[in-house]
Amino acid sequence: MERGRWVEVADGVFARRYVELDQTLGLVVGGERCLVVDTGGNDPQGEELAAAVREVTPLPWSVVVTHAHWDHFFGTAAFGPCDVWAHPRCQEAMANSAEAQRADWARRYQDEGRSELADALLSATLVLPDREVTSRVDLDLGGRTVTLLHPGRGHTDNDVVVHVPDVAAVFAGDLVEQGAPPSIGEDAYPLEWPSALDAVLAMDPVVVLPGHGEPVDRAFTEAQRDELAALADLLRAVRAGELSLDAALRRSPYPDDVTRPVLEQATPA
């Protein structure tokens, strides 16, 4: 199983980077506790992450799941028992869709000839969150307070971001993606996503940790917000009959394979 690498983006704030899915998990260390941001997509990855955290700190941990997509929560068993924070709709979506997500991606890995990843996913332990972030929760880690915030609907209807105000860092989950266009699935809310990023930008971040890709800055986040706002405007115009699908595809900031499903199948507001 792949071993990740730590990137320390600020004092006691770390991104754990993986080649698979270009994924970024996270760690925030306080004086008395630490917070793990997402846990990966299977038990071996969760165990690798837990061991890596223990190389950084011996402090007791809590977990936050940024949203209900399999690659962010199927590694949680390695951290139990502990508090697992998430939006209540995240817990519901995990309970309802985790098995379908597991089966879909296991088939994909099998089709790619990557049976080790398929087997690891099929045997992964599902751990549901037991602590709710309905709108905002402030967690005292000992000399450092972090804020768990639901910024609105965007990548999903259950996104949670993690703000570390003393170093102006934000773990944005998949609301931000570096190295590829944002993943805008059928459970996304493209019309509202720019507003969710406005909430992130209102935290005045110096560094933003995406769910996939390398750490980015405020300017990158603003640019991605603007791209998503442009896509939202195109979607509104197509729905209103003011713009043809082909014309919207030509004007999109994203490639055809990203834009077309949004314009054809985006979740209604």
pLDDT tens across 102-153, in order? 999 999 999 999 999 999 999 999 999 999 999 999 999 999 999 999 999 9
* Paired strand residues for 64: 37, 85
Residue bearing tokens 């994924």: 23
Cα gap 9→13, rounded to integer Å:
6
- C-alpha–C-alpha distance, residues 189 and 171, integer Å: 19
What does pTM read for this prediction?
0.97
* 99 vs 119: CA distance, rounded Å: 14
pLDDT tens digits for range 141-166: 999 999 999 999 999 999 999 999 99
User: Which domains can be identified in the chain, with CATH numbers?
Assistant: 5-217 (3.60.15.10)
* Nearest Cα to Cα of residue 162 among 269, 28, 47: 28
The arithmetic mean of pLDDT across residues 42-66, rounded, is 98
Residue ranges of alpha helices (H) inside the chain are: 43-56, 88-111, 115-122, 193-201, 218-239, 245-251, 256-265
pLDDT one-digit tens code per residue, 169-227: 999 999 999 999 999 999 999 999 999 999 999 999 999 999 999 999 999 999 999 99
